[in-house]
Structures are given as structure tokens and as C-alpha cells.
Amino acid sequence: MSVAVALFTRDLRVHDNPALTAAARAADQVVPLFVVDEALVPDRCPPNRAHFLAAALAELDTALRDRGGALVVRRGSVIDEVARVVDETGATSVHLADDVSYYSGKRERALRERLGGAVHCHAGSVTATSTELAPSTGRDHFAVFTPYFRRWIEVHRRSPLPVPRALSVPSVGSDPVPTGSDLSSGEPSPELTVGGETTARALLDDWLDGPIDHYARDNDDLGADATSRLSAHLHFGCLSPTEVVRRVDATTEGGLAFARQLAWRDFHHQVLAARPDAAWSDYRRRAPLGPADDRVFADWRDGRTGYPIVDAAMRQLRAEGWLPGRARLIAASFLTKSLRQDWRLGARHFLHWLVDADVANNQLNWQWAAGTGTDTRPNRVLNPVRQADRYDPDGTYVRRWLPELAHLPGARIHRPWRENVDPATYPEPIIDCVGR
Ligand SMILES: Cc1cc2nc3c(=O)[nH]c(=O)nc-3n(C[C@H](O)[C@H](O)[C@H](O)COP(=O)(O)OP(=O)(O)OC[C@H]3O[C@@H](n4cnc5c(N)ncnc54)[C@H](O)[C@@H]3O)c2cc1C
């Protein structure tokens, strides 16, 4: 009996999974393997992602069992454990999804060094690879989104792959599927969403069945909560991005607006693939920052800036481990442009809390907001009060997260300094952004 290993990384699904399909086609038996990287758990793994990951692994195990298989879990160094499983089962090939981060590149190189030509990487984490979508200028990546999107929308995408009908797994030792607490020592956000392919597919079906139609109109309306909330499922690969794009009808207004956001995901991935240093270094040089100020950073982090729209965002981040895009932008712009603090501080804080935290999307969106990234208007500053008036006109969003201001009617909630609110109840603004 021939054996192949399907190494799951950020592709925790059985639908449209190129690595799993390739392993099933390459051999009679497949080891569906997940390695819990001991270098990261439990102390270096943020709790929100740990709990989402654990739930996604449990759903993956169930989906594999439904097809006659089961998830094989090992704990240790990824390279050592893959090599051990290859030795124990006599596997002749190892299949995994491609990725763009520095860590994943290092992992792939180390696997190839250890196992040589047996290692096969399959495109699957973005919907258009840099090879399919290279700029005509000869550069190694697109640095501006609009021309990228014009080409992206035209790319021919393969049909989603079918789920392997039956899987046979050789006899090989496995640890139990880890729980969230096995993976992280910290407490997750109280309103954290649940991870996993079955959950994600139901969410996607519901989304495509109606709410997407209003996406173009409502996606920035903070009170309406009208975005898909698919980001963590895309991050962990509970959904295939290619399948999502294929299922979106981009001839409709809502579908096109939604596809455009999915293109941003691919765009940032191709920037990071070409410039891995952009994870922590400025993509473009920028005017000097203000002096580092621990106190204003702490006020921003803890939602005590005195600007309700910013503070509401920072509270939602902690409560849910997730934020709508507009709220992320307002919070990031406030820290970097209004308070003139280093984007890396904010990016690190988001990486800790966001359940969808992603090196490509988080770091490059932070750079975009800070003016060091791919924004073609790097000096624009988002005024938090104008943003609040525009994207939370009746104050619904702020009222949801700042109950201490809930008595202020309509848009008056965005200017508590005009309302005689006791500073012991809600702080005065830490800087003047509006020329009060
Ligand atoms: C400062 C900052 C940090 C961010 N950090 C992350 C992060 O760590 N992980 C992450 O997935 N997204 C990040 N984003 C992008 C975006 O805000 C989230 O993807 C989105 O809010 C997730 O909610 P949703 O799934 O409802 O999105 P929807 O509005 O429904 O969009 C659909 C999908 O498109 C993709 N997408 C949407 N906007 C962007 C964008 N600007 N860049 C890249 N992809 C996008 C996401 O995969 C998202 O799930 C960040 C944005 C900012 C401004």
C-alpha cells in the first residue's frame, strides 16, 4: 500500500483542498496530519486564535471521520514530526498548501532540506498567484491596488475540487485533537466566534443567500454589522478563497464590492510574498513619527481616548476578537496619524487579539493606515468625529459598546465633551482632533 501525507497548516477543510486532493490521488492511503508546533504553545499562542483553531481542528477531524479517515495530531517540531510520520508509514510524498509568511517559507525550506523531492506545495491560500498575475512592468509585484484589481477580476480560476469520497488512513499514533486550553494559557474573548469548516460553510451559504446584496451600500455602516464575518474562516482555510470567489456573482453590485475586498486579501499576500520584510519594516519610508508615548498608547489600547468611536472599536476588539474593517481603519489611523505612534505597536496589539490575525493582512493594512504602505494618499488623516458622523450616524455602534454613554441621543454620543459627562464616567479627549 502506498502512503502520502497531507500536512494541514492554514487549510483546515476537506472541500476544495488541493493538498489533500493531491495526497489522495498520489497514494492508496493518506495521513491527514496536523502538527501542534511546540515552539508556540501554550505561551506564545494568542488565546482567541488558539480556541478558534481547536474548534476548527475538531470539525476537520469529524469531516475526515465521515469519510473513513481521522485527523492525526502530533506535537513537537513540525519538521521532526513530519519526518517521523514519513518514517513510520513509509510515505513517499508530503503535500501542503503554499503560504507567504516568513515562517511558512522557512518551514517549507526546512521540509525540503529534510525530505527532498517528496515535498509538494499546492497553490490554495489565495485565488490568484503571483505567477498568474504578474505586472506587465516587469516588477515582482503590484504596489498599487487598482491596477491589480483590474487584472485580478479577469483571472480565470479553476473549478473547486471535489471532496475526497473515501479516505484510508494507515495505522499511526496520534495525540488527541487539542482543546483551546491545550494550545494557549490565556483566556479568550467572551464573545469569540466558533471556528470550523461546517460552521464556515453555513455562514457562507447564508451570506450569499441575501446579505451580500446590500454589501456595497452597507459594508461601512458600523451599526448595521453588515459584513460577512468570514475573515477568520478564510485565515485558517476553513473556506477555500477560490471557492468563495467562484461562488460570488460579481455581475451584481454587492457581489462586485465583496469580490473587491477578497482581492485586497490576495493583493496583500502578493506584496508580502515579494517583500517579506514588510511584516515589520516600513514598506515605504515616511516622515518621522512623534516621540513614543506609553501613556497615549495605553489609552488607545484600553479604549480611553475620549473619542467614542475609537474606544468602542477597542472594546469590541477585546470582547469579540474581531472588528469590522471600518472600525479597524479608524482605530489604526487614530493611533498612527492622530497620536503619531509607530504602527508596529498597534499591529502587535491587533495580532494578539484578532481571531483572523494574519501577517499579510494585518501588517499591510496597518502600513496602509499609517501611510508607510500602499496607500496612494499616504498623508490622509481620518478625523475620528467625522468618521463617526459618517459611518455611525445615529450612534448605534458606539451605544452598543459604550453603555456609559448610551443615554446620549443620536449623533450627540460622538461628542460627549459637549454633554457635561463626568470624566470619571467617560474620559475627556486625550488630544484635540476637532478644534473644540
Ligand atoms: C488596521 C487593519 C488591520 C487588519 N487586520 C486584518 C487581519 O489581521 N486579518 C484579516 O483577515 N483582515 C484584516 N484587515 C482587513 C479587514 O478589515 C478584515 O478582513 C475584515 O474587516 C474582516 O471582516 P469580514 O470578514 O466581515 O470582511 P468583509 O468586509 O465581509 O470582507 C470579505 C473578506 O475580504 C477580505 N478583506 C476585506 N477587507 C480587506 C482588507 N482591507 N485587506 C485584506 N483583506 C480584506 C477578508 O478576507 C474578508 O473576510 C485589517 C484591516 C485594517 C484596517
> Is 318 labeled as ligand-binding?
no
How high is the pLDDT of residue 41? 81
Tell how far the Cα of 327 is from the centroid of ligand 1, in angstroms.
Answer: 11
Instruction: Name which of 143, 149, 77 is nearest 114 in CA terms.
Output: 77
> Is 374 labeled as ligand-binding?
no
Q: Which atom of ligand 1 is nearest to the CA of 358?
A: 8
* DSSP code per residue over 33-85: EEEEETTTTTTTS-HHHHHHHHHHHHHHHHHHHTTT---EEEEE-HHHHHHHH
Pocket test for ligand 1, best of 231, 238, 242, 349 (most atoms within 8 A of CB): 231
Does the beta carbon of 101 lie inside 6 Å of ligand 1?
A: no
Tell how far the Cα of 231 is from the centroid of ligand 1, in angstroms.
Answer: 6
Q: Which atom of ligand 1 is nearest to the CA of 235?
A: 11
Instruction: Name which of 72, 53, 79, 59 is nearest 15 in CA terms.
Output: 59
Instruction: Name which of 328, 267, 164, 18 is nearest 9 in CA terms.
Output: 18
The answer to whether 343 and 357 are in contact (CB under 8 A) is no
Euclidean distance between CA atoms 47 and 372, whole angstroms: 29
> Is 80 labeled as ligand-binding?
no
> Is 356 labeled as ligand-binding?
yes
Tell how far the Cα of 114 is from the centroid of ligand 1, in angstroms.
Answer: 36
54 phi, psi to nearest 5 deg:
-60, -45
The answer to whether 359 and 101 are in contact (CB under 8 A) is yes
User: CATH fold of 127-158+197-274, please?
Assistant: 1.25.40
How high is the pLDDT of residue 73? 98
Task: State how far the alpha carbon of 418 is from the alpha carbons of 312, 408, 428, in Å.
Answer: 18, 11, 10
pTM: 0.97
How high is the pLDDT of residue 287? 73
- Residue with the smallest CA separation from ligand 1 atom 53 is 329
Does the beta carbon of 361 lie inside 6 Å of ligand 1?
A: yes
Alpha carbons within 13 A on the beta-carbon side of 137: 8
Task: Please provide the CATH number assigned to the domain covering 3-125.
Answer: 3.40.50.620
Where are the domains positioned within the chain? 3-125, 127-158+197-274, 294-418
- Residue with the smallest CA separation from ligand 1 atom 26 is 229
Instruction: Name which of 334, 351, 337, 348 is nearest 286 in CA terms.
Output: 337
Q: Which atom of ligand 1 is nearest to the CA of 366?
A: 1
- Residue with the smallest CA separation from ligand 1 atom 1 is 366
> Is 125 labeled as ligand-binding?
no
Tell how far the Cα of 331 is from the centroid of ligand 1, in angstroms.
Answer: 14
- Residue with the smallest CA separation from ligand 1 atom 17 is 325
Instruction: Name which of 249, 251, 248, 250 is nearest 230 in CA terms.
Output: 248
Does the beta carbon of 211 lie inside 6 Å of ligand 1?
A: no
> Is 388 labeled as ligand-binding?
no
Grid cell 498623508 is found at 379
> Is 229 labeled as ligand-binding?
yes
Tell how far the Cα of 52 is from the centroid of ligand 1, in angstroms.
Answer: 17
> Is 228 labeled as ligand-binding?
yes
For the chain, 436 residues long, the average pLDDT of each consecutive 10-residue run is 96 98 97 93 90 98 97 97 98 95 91 97 89 88 96 94 95 97 95 96 98 97 98 98 97 98 97 94 86 96 98 98 98 96 97 96 97 93 96 98 98 96 96 77
Does the beta carbon of 279 lie inside 6 Å of ligand 1?
A: no
The answer to whether 31 and 255 are in contact (CB under 8 A) is no
SS3 of 410, please?
helix
Q: Which residues make beta-bridge pairs with 3? A: 29
Tell how far the Cα of 102 is from the centroid of ligand 1, in angstroms.
Answer: 20
> Is 130 labeled as ligand-binding?
no
DSSP class of 376: S
Euclidean distance between CA atoms 299 and 335, whole angstroms: 10
- Residue with the smallest CA separation from ligand 1 atom 23 is 229
Does the beta carbon of 356 lie inside 6 Å of ligand 1?
A: yes
We find that the CATH architecture of domain 294-418 is Orthogonal Bundle (1.10)
How high is the pLDDT of residue 435? 61
